Structure 1
Amino acid sequence: MPTSALQVARTGLEAQDTRMRVIANNLANIGTTGYKRDRADFATLAYQDTRVAGQQSTSETAYAVGLNLGTGVAVQGTSRIGTQGTLNTTGNALDMALDGAGFFAVEMPGGGTGYTRAGNFTLSAEGNLVTSQGYAVQPQIAVPQGATSVSVAPDGTVSAILEGEAAPAELGQLTIASFANPNGLRATGDNFLMETAASGAAETGPAGQDGRGNIRQGMLEASNVNVVEELVEMIEAQRSYEINSKMISAVDEMLRNANQTL
């Protein structure tokens, strides 16, 4: 059965509603540390071929063009835009930002590994470097009680002056995870992403090597959401939604008139 104009307009409404949800989520996360904006990707639905180009029009001629009717649009997926956010100085020694590609690795409840760009870390009661949720940063870094002047080098080496010592002691080295397809990571909330078959396995190594970004101590990466761009996107989505709504009203009116006339 051929797709009606009413059905096409309804698919447009659904697609634009999804688009506005993506934009609204971006705007809601303007202040979220390390957040990467999402983009809704659209694709046309299958076409219905009423007449195929090249089909015989007579015994001696063929149609130069076909008659192909689209069936609407759908959101194909959402892409994460991984551009670098602004690095803001906080002065907190345990705040860390990644200047470049990669993710901090975190041990999640249940034993899995989560990945994040949010480096607003703190210390647990045992002195371990953890996220604000209390999840241990991997590899585990323990800061002994009484240690002062904690420093993190661009390559992730963590040092501190221990009680009774004059020279800094190395406490360990943070490693950074990278993926063949970062867009394939699955967002779980709380600023965490999880590995999937599409992302490929995590490849961990020192910061600043093999394309991984350097660690900047005392800084946090801001969201990469651009308010002006998102508002323009929102206006476009609203206009498209309104047009599809008017199309539905117009088709309904045409069908009602047709039923009354016939």
Structure 2
Amino acid sequence: MRLIATLGLVVSFCFSIQAEDSPTVTDVNKQLLTIELESYLNAYKNASANIRELETKLAQTNTAESRATLEANRDSLRVHLDALAVRANETAIRIGKTQTGTSKKKTLPDGTRVYLRNRLKSTGRDLDVAIKGRGFFQAVDPNTNAKVYARVGGLDIDANGYLVLGSARSGLLITPSIQLPADTIAIVVSPSGETWCRQPGETELRLLGQMELSQFANPGGLQEIDENLFSETEASGTASVTRPGQDGAGIIRQGCIEESDSTRVRELIEQLVDLLTADHSTESLRPR
């Protein structure tokens, strides 16, 4: 029965993470708890590796004295492993208590949720761009011709060569529009949003256009209309358009994507679930 209760709690929590709706002070607490969870996960991995190493030595040892020492060390590590699993689970539950479930379409209660809590994850993909700081990417909804705003800049190229937010087939045209030549072999986006391309046989980059960002007096008043897409409201105020790096707007980081803490927490917990599952499976094979 070792670790079954802990595993059950972690699994149930892993699939119960909801959209975040907490005030700034809770955001800070959640960040610290996430770091704590990650430290427990790393410690769990190290302890598991040490146990495997000891069991390998046990299989190769014949003397009673050596076996007794190795078994004592292994059993001590197993106790430590159980304690780490319990602490990690408790931390995961505490993270869960900083969150409240909400409907998909909602008004953001706090603008810092949008542009301060999230972190940048390196992808190495030229069409992934992230904002380091304040601001939103702009795009046009083809159904309403209205502007929409996004933090996550996962770009693609549509059939006509234009940069779009989302997939090539269903993405939204970013504004101002930027069109790539058909023979483009590389795209470069500077921190200030200037967008360049490289073409075959050319040594110089070709300037295609300028990315711009929108800022709001109260970004917490934006209305979420879909995952990562927001619309302007009376509460948010009118968009103020500027170039990246100017007037308080953030800068562009190419080859990165913005990743929310909830995504990070889910990944950590799923890793913990995998480790606990593997440990429990191994436990049933151990001699009693």
TM-score under structure 2 length normalisation: 0.53
Structure 2 residue 106 is the aligned partner of structure 1 residue 85:
no
Change (3 A) 1:146 1:118: same
Q: Distance in 2 between matches of 1:94 and 1:162?
A: 16
Change (3 A) 1:146 1:197: same
Q: Distance in 1 between matches of 2:173 and 2:182?
A: 17
Q: Distance in 1 between matches of 2:238 and 2:222?
A: 10
- SS of 2:261's equivalent in the other structure is coil
- Is the contact made by 2:163 and 2:177 (CA closer than 8 Å) also made in structure 1? yes
Aligned to 2:131: 98
Aligned to 1:50: none
Structure 2 residue 22 is the aligned partner of structure 1 residue 39:
yes
Superposed counterparts of 1:175-190, under 5 Å: 175-190=212-227
| Residue 189 of structure 1, CA deviation | 1.1
Aligned to 1:141: 178
Aligned to 2:163: 129
Q: Distance in 2 between matches of 1:124 and 1:28?
A: 32
Aligned to 1:115: 149
Q: Among 203, 210, 214, which residue is 1:166 paired with?
A: 203
Identity %: 34
- Is the contact made by 2:108 and 2:220 (CA closer than 8 Å) also made in structure 1? no
- SS of 1:115's equivalent in the other structure is strand
| Residue 40 of structure 1, CA deviation | 7.8
Gaps of 5+ in 1: 1-22, 30-36, 42-74, 232-262
- Is the contact made by 1:26 and 1:38 (CA closer than 8 Å) also made in structure 2? no
Change (3 A) 1:167 1:94: same
Aligned to 1:27: 17
| Residue 164 of structure 1, CA deviation | 4.3
Question: Amino acid of the residue matched to residue 209 of structure 1?
Answer: Q
Question: Going by fraction, where is helix more abundant, 1 or 2?
Answer: 2
- Which one has the largest radius of gyration? 1
Q: Distance in 1 between matches of 2:222 and 2:253?
A: 24
Aligned to 1:63: none
| Residue 134 of structure 1, CA deviation | 1.6
Question: Amino acid of the residue matched to residue 39 of structure 1?
Answer: S
| Residue 149 of structure 1, CA deviation | 2.2
Provide, for residues 163-194 of structure 1, a one-character-per-residue CA deviation record: whole Å limited to 9, x for no partner: 44321010000000000000010011131100
Q: Distance in 1 between matches of 2:227 and 2:240?
A: 22
Q: Distance in 1 between matches of 2:15 and 2:230?
A: 16
- Is the contact made by 1:181 and 1:200 (CA closer than 8 Å) also made in structure 2? yes
Change (3 A) 1:78 1:202: closer
Aligned to 2:190: 153
- SS of 1:197's equivalent in the other structure is coil
Cα RMSD, aligned residues only = 2.8
Change (3 A) 1:24 1:204: farther
Q: Distance in 1 between matches of 2:18 and 2:126?
A: 28
Question: Amino acid of the residue matched to residue 116 of structure 1?
Answer: A
Q: Among 217, 230, 252, which residue is 2:254 paired with?
A: 217
| Residue 100 of structure 1, CA deviation | 0.3
**How many residue pairs are counted as aligned between the two chains?**
166
Provide, for residues 32-72 of structure 1, a one-character-per-residue CA deviation record: whole Å limited to 9, x for no partner: xxxxx32389xxxxxxxxxxxxxxxxxxxxxxxxxxxxxxx
Aligned to 1:20: none
